Each structure stands twice: as structure tokens, then as C-alpha cells.
Amino acid sequence: MSNKSTYPQDSLFTELKANILSIEWEITDQTMNSLISEINRLKRIHKDNKIIYSLLKLSGEIGKYIRSKKVNSHPDSINLLQSIYRGLEKVEATPEITKAEMKMILSAEVKKFKGLQQRVIQAKSDVQGKTDKKPGNGEKPASGVKEVITVEPPLSLDALGLMLEEIRKAIRAEFAGLRKELKSWQSEK
């Protein structure tokens, strides 16, 4: 039996796990930078293992998203980060795992990632739709209703839209790369 299975604390991913656990408690620049730095370190180590590398890339994209949004990031983003970690741990700590099983783990995490992406886009659309209909945004209040003075949020919707578009571009680029890798793996069968 492998040491990895018997002693999971000796895993190459121990530091990654510690970083993920720390952001569950508090999302700070320091914890997020540490997480992303660890992911980048692991990507260099696992650059020849396409499955682990791809899972790490997914983790990195989610980490960057959480770092940009901090406590305002979608609640499912941390859950997905944990799920991807569990997939990494299973791939690394299970010597008898087949390549097909590894691909299934990666495919499941990519599907969850796409689902999160859609929820983030939908949440942004919902917020923007509600904001556009408030009095003070060019609309007059209904008769008999006092006009409400609203304070602009620290980040304008335009800036938020630009940030979200940058995240979308990064996610699209990531998906394009993952699709290419998945197609190459499928052709290897």
C-alpha cells in the first residue's frame, strides 16, 4: 500500500488544503495570494500530468475570482474549490485509479465550473436588472411615492461589468484550453 493512501498528511497537496481551509474562515489578500501561489507551484510540478494540471488550472481560476470579489464572491465558489481539491486528492492518493476515472473526475469538475459560471452571470444580471429599475436611475417614482435618494456603491456598475467581463474572458480562455486538452485525451483512447 502506498504511503500517500495511508498518510494523507504527506500529500503534495497538504499546503493547498491548508490554504483552502484558511479561506473558509477569512478571505484576505494574504490568504488568496498564498492560495494562488501554491496552485502555481503545483502547476509547475504537475505540468506533465494533464488531469492534475487541468484541475489545478480550474482551482486557479476560481481562486482569482474569489480574490477579486472577496466576501462578495458567489457562495458556491468556495464549495467548488473544495470539490476540485477532493478530486485532486483522489487522483493523487489512489494508485489504482484508471485514466478513465481521472477523466471522469475532471469532466465532473469542469461541469461544476460551468454551472458556477452561469450562476455568477445570472446573479450579475439579476442585480443589474433590479438596479436599473430603481427610482433615481432615470425613472420617476410612482405618484404618491417619495423619491428615494440612493448612495452610489463604492464600485460603479460599469466597473463591475468590466470586471465581470474580464472574468468571463479568463473563464472562456480556460474552457477553450480545457476543451482542447479533453479532445486530445479522447483521441488518445
Cα within 13 Å of Cα(80), Cβ side: 29
Rounded Cα–Cα distance for residues 74 and 29 (Å): 17
Rounded Cα–Cα distance for residues 106 and 54 (Å): 8
Rounded Cα–Cα distance for residues 175 and 155 (Å): 28
Predicted pLDDT at 61: 92
Rounded Cα–Cα distance for residues 133 and 181 (Å): 43
CA-nearest of 128, 13, 22 to 66 is: 22
Residue type, 13: F
Predicted pLDDT at 155: 46
Prediction pTM value:
0.63
Query: Mean pLDDT per segment of 10 residues, for the chain of length 189 residues?
Result: 42 85 86 92 92 92 90 87 92 88 91 89 75 52 46 50 68 78 74
Q: Which residue stretches of the chain are H helix?
A: 3-6, 14-25, 29-45, 50-69, 75-93, 99-132, 157-188
Predicted pLDDT at 152: 42
* Helix, strand, coil shares, percent, the chain, to 5: 75, 0, 25
* 97 and 76 Cβ atoms separated by less than 8 Å: no
Predicted pLDDT at 101: 92
Predicted pLDDT at 145: 45
